[in-house]
Amino acid sequence: MPTSQQFWDRIASNYAAKPIRNVAAYEKTMERTRLYLKKGDRLLELGCGSGSTALLLSGHVGHIWANDLSSRLVGIGRQKAKEQGVTNVDFIHGDISVAAIDEMAPYNCICAFNFLHLLEDIPSALERIHGLLRPGGLLISKTACLSGWHGLMRIPITVMQWLGKAPHVTFISATELEEAMKAQGFELLESCTFPKAAEAQFIVARKL
């Protein structure tokens, strides 16, 4: 079975070219996110993919460091930033533990869109995120919460993983995710879903 990095590197070009599946939900996510951002913010985006969201938010903060496990997606993001003339977004290749992330810490805000459910150890990731934030800093996330009847997807997803056609997926409920954040020292400011995206939980949490 390929590693997560191998999976995302292999599909990078197709992933970057793929249109947004639910444009209305994405626009609502960006609308809600921008309400929490300030011009001088130092923002880290985890699981940035090809950098589209980081580039979209770049005009609303001071600087963004966009991180992704896939070197190919990071390369695509750098090229897009160059083509768009965006100078306040830097891309960092590596997983969530890569040292380059620590070099720029602490951050005012960390964004994790469609990211946490792809990790094998969500509590450890939340502990790591908590440590990277300034006191009072924000974690803004949107996570596929696939417990309940979505659990029926476990078997086909496992088969697809062995065939190299799907990444790791952690099946977690919105309540479990909220409790995991609280356990790591976060206060929930907002937790909701948007129309036609009921499985995607948008959460804003503040470091206590």
Give residue 160's pLDDT: 66
How many angstroms separate the Cα of 171 from the Cα of each of 9, 127, 145? 23, 19, 7
Q: How many domains does the chain have?
A: 1
Q: Is the pLDDT of residue 165 over 70?
A: no
pLDDT in tens, 107-156: 999 999 999 999 999 999 999 999 999 999 999 999 999 876 555 666 56
Of all residues in the chain, what percent carry a pLDDT higher than 90?
79
The one-letter amino acid at 84: Q
pLDDT in tens, 10-20: 999 999 999 99
Give residue 144's pLDDT: 92
Q: Is the pLDDT of residue 40 over 80?
A: yes
196 pLDDT band, cuts 50/70/90, is low
Torsion-angle region of 49 (φ positive above 0: left; ψ -120 to 50: alpha; else: beta):
left
The CATH number of residue 87's host domain is: 3.40.50.150
Mean pLDDT of 90-102: 97
Q: What is the pTM of this model?
A: 0.92
Q: Which residue range(s) make up the domain with 98? A: 4-207
By CB atoms closer than 10 A (0-12, 13-18, 19+), residue 193 is middle
Sorted by sequence, the CB contacts under 8 Å of residue 158 that are 6+ apart come out as none
Of all residues in the chain, what percent carry a pLDDT higher than 70?
89
Q: How far is CA 13 from the centre of its chain?
A: 19
Sorted by sequence, the CB contacts under 8 Å of residue 42 that are 6+ apart come out as 61, 62, 63, 65, 104, 106, 107, 108, 109
